[in-house]
Amino acid sequence: MNINYLCHRNKIIMQTERQTQIIEASIEIISHKGIQGLTIKNLSKKIGISEPAIYRHFDSKTEILLTLLNSFKEMATFLGGLMKENGGSAADKIGFMFTRIIAIFTETPSLISVIFSEEIFKNEEILKSKIVEIMDLNEHTIEQIIQKGQNDGEVRTDINYKDLALIVMGTLRFRVKRWDLKDYQGDLIKDGNDLINSLKIIITN
């Protein structure tokens, strides 16, 4: 994963060099061994430092995952702010958001296991809450875009803006998750662009 893309490039979260290394190694482990393979012991072997050295930067595996999820939360907040400033149409705004999200997942597919597998965190209340926050932020942004589009006469009004937002978000989730379950076969960027174009047709008035 390009941590700079998520964090430093958008000036979202500042981390030490070692913390960044630990997070990147964690994502590599998730990619090859799944989320259950992410342990402090495996991280220690992967990076080549002692387990106590890792604990000097993160208290637990949960804190490492929480840091990663916080990066996504900040990115969701950042995108939401951009959409408020963007003067484009509702369809163009949604297309911009989805293009950014798809690009991140294409670059680092293992992140899908973290973001779209919330059932894994059911027993970790702090992680489950963070996932819900991210989902709520993205859903709120899409709702605002669609509602404004309806008020401006760009978006169909025969479907409630909240229901339209769920349809839009659900199709992206399904497309990304299917790509993940098929072991990343196919071109997610092309499929994503096709999806964006289809959604424009569906929501446009």
Q: Report DSSP letters for the chain, one per residue.
A: --HHHHTTTTT-----HHHHHHHHHHHHHHHHH-GGG--HHHHHHHHTS-HHHHHTT-SSHHHHHHHHHHHHHHHHHHHHHHHHH--S-HHHHHHHHHHHHHHHHHH-TTHHHHHS-GGGGTT-HHHHHHHHHHHHHHHHHHHHHHHHHHHTT-B-SSS-HHHHHHHHHHHHHHHHHHHHHTTT-S-HHHHHHHHHHHHHHHHB-
Task: In whole angstroms, give the CA distance from residue 78 to residue 9.
Answer: 12
Average confidence score pLDDT of the chain: 86
Instruction: Record the tokens describing residue 100, joined without a space.
Output: 């950014």
User: Which residue numbers in the chain have pLDDT < 70?
Assistant: 1-14, 117-120
The tally of CA atoms less than 13 A away on the side-chain side of residue 127 is: 20
Output the pTM of the full model: 0.82
Task: In whole angstroms, give the CA distance from residue 7 to residue 12.
Answer: 5
Closest C-alpha to 112, from 37, 31, 185, 168: 31
Fold assignment, 61-203: Tetracycline Repressor; domain 2 (1.10.357)
**What pLDDT is attached to residue 14?**
57
Closest C-alpha to 66, from 129, 119, 127: 127
Q: Where are the domains of the chain?
A: 61-203
Are 137 and 79 in contact, with CB atoms under 8 Å apart? no
Task: In whole angstroms, give the CA distance from residue 26 to residue 113.
Answer: 12
